[in-house]
Amino acid sequence: MKLIYLIVLVCFQIGNQRVETKDIKDANKNLILLRQLKSDVYKNLIINILPYWMKNVVDPVNGGFYGRIDYQEKKYPDSDKGGILNARILWTFSSAFRLTKDTQYLTAAKRSKNYILAHFIDPKFGGAYRSVNLKGQPSDQRKQIYSQTFFIYALSEYYRATGDQEALNKAKDIFEKIEKYAVDPNFDGYFEAFDREWKRTKDLLIGEKSPNDEKTMNTHLHLMEAYANLYRVWPDPKLAMRLKNLILIFTDKIMDPQTFHLKIFLTNNWKSNSTINSYGHDIECSWLLVEAAHILGDQTLIKKVENISLHIADAASEGLQPDGSLVNEKDYLTGHIDNTRAWWPQAEAVVGLLNAFELSGKELYLKQAISCWNYINQKLVDHKSGEWFNAVSDSGLVSKGDKAGFWKCPYHNGRMCMEIMERVSKL
């Protein structure tokens, strides 16, 4: 990491010039700030986030995890269990066990993995169902590529943490299904939605607004993330080729070369169908691109992506507010800004800004990352009941969004904590 180099650099002579005392003090100050940030998020992870899911969300009657808990901590045992939620739970606890070696997290990960393999994986046509009911029977059999990505991400992480071959085999199977059925043979990239038998359908999913939306940034982002994690544990040549292709799709097709924002919804030939700048997705992409390139190990690609990453982070920073928070999005055509402070863009902002600091050495990014974390800790963390609130309004009111649900999960905030723990530990 460049950050390690920069901090070490200030401790030694460079040629015949000695680094100024101020530079050494600044580096020491930054290291102190980083260690404090790591300490804060570690406590948040092990005291606030993970215990909430183990204590409140485990379904002791029907297995797996409850499908929904509302903002008043009311459980809904009859709610469907979403595939995205369950896959993200598996990833989180697998990663937590890998980092901490705490067996209580392994127990939660095993519970999730066993439930997913028993109920979500389609034994006949492959891939994973979008949701199951309280009894574990399929309630939505569609094969949504966005959802499939998280099963790859989670199962490969479980293998990474445990060496469980069954989990890796299932992740590889889903990869092969996506490559067989979802690739656009004419314009590259991936289509979005399929029925149980992998016949393409046209469903308006994941925020799509127009029937002309053929592809989404969001699905491609999480497919890149999933393929990168799978490549960590299975360095297959075909997977390497497809991962590199996804990275280049972002740099050459999805990123606007003029503004460095991401195009949210696109036609099949990559024409933008949206006038929205999504700051949370921008900042998340800025660091996931770098991670994917480094996992792939292509030095030319790494250099290209690191430069682009800083531009994307700067574009996302247009949404930063004086209190450290990140607003959701802006319609650049009308000028309307969604001022909601949703939980997940804040988490991604901390990681993305820290990544920008590592790449550039510019203290501003570190200060912004810490400022965003302070906002999270003051406004979004539920210090009484655990976990984070779903969102906070511009005036500071906590939203009535679910604490756990189809989309509300321990993945963004848990990953933020673990990313910081790993990055700072490398120092």
Using DSSP's 3-state secondary structure scheme, residue 186 falls into: coil
Nearest C-alpha neighbor of 278 from the set 374, 349, 224: 349
**Tens digits of residue pLDDT in 151-176:** 999 999 999 999 999 999 999 999 99
* CATH class, 67-274 region: mainly alpha
Percent of the chain clearing pLDDT 90 (strictly above): 90
**Domain edges within the chain:** 1-57+308-427, 67-274
Instruction: Tally the residues of the chain.
Output: 427
Q: Cα–Cα distance between 191 and 234 in angstroms, integer? A: 24
Could you tell me which residue, 212 or 339, shows the higher pLDDT? 339
**Tens digits of residue pLDDT in 48-73:** 999 999 999 999 999 999 999 999 99
**Tens digits of residue pLDDT in 329-347:** 999 999 999 999 999 999 9
Q: Quick check: do 1-57+308-427 and 67-274 share a fold?
A: yes
Helix 279-296 × helix 217-233 angle, to 10°: 30
Residue 260 per-residue DSSP state: -
Q: Cα–Cα distance between 319 and 330 in angstroms, integer? A: 8
Residue 208 per-residue DSSP state: -
List the CATH code of the domain at 1-57+308-427. 1.50.10.10
Using DSSP's 3-state secondary structure scheme, residue 74 falls into: coil
Q: Is a pLDDT exceeding 70 seen at residue 13?
A: no
Q: Is 386 left (phi over 0), alpha (psi -120 to 50) or beta?
A: left
Residue type, 9: L
Q: Looking up tokens 């309307």, which residue turns up?
A: 336
Q: Is a pLDDT exceeding 90 seen at residue 42?
A: yes
Average pLDDT, the chain: 94
Helix 165-181 × helix 217-233 angle, to 10°: 140
Contact 325, 346 (CB under 8 A): yes
Q: Which two tokens stand for residue 99?
A: 């980092």
Residue 316 has φ and ψ, to the nearest 5°, of -65, -35
CB neighbour class for 199 (10 Å; exposed up to 12, middle 13-18, buried from 19): exposed
Q: Is the dihedral of CA 329, 330, 332, 334 positive or negative?
A: positive
pLDDT at position 2 is 55
Q: What is the 3-state secondary structure (H, E, C) of 140-153?
A: ECCEEHHHHHHHHH
**Tens digits of residue pLDDT in 69-127:** 999 999 999 999 999 999 999 999 999 999 999 999 999 999 999 999 999 999 999 99
Confidence tier at 368 by pLDDT (50, 70, 90) = very high
Confidence tier at 46 by pLDDT (50, 70, 90) = very high
pLDDT at position 22 is 67
Q: Cα–Cα distance between 240 and 246 in angstroms, integer? A: 10
pLDDT at position 3 is 53
Q: Which helix (H) or strand (E) holds 391?
A: strand 391-392
Confidence tier at 203 by pLDDT (50, 70, 90) = confident
Average pLDDT score over residue span 339-358: 98
- pTM over the 0.85 mark: yes
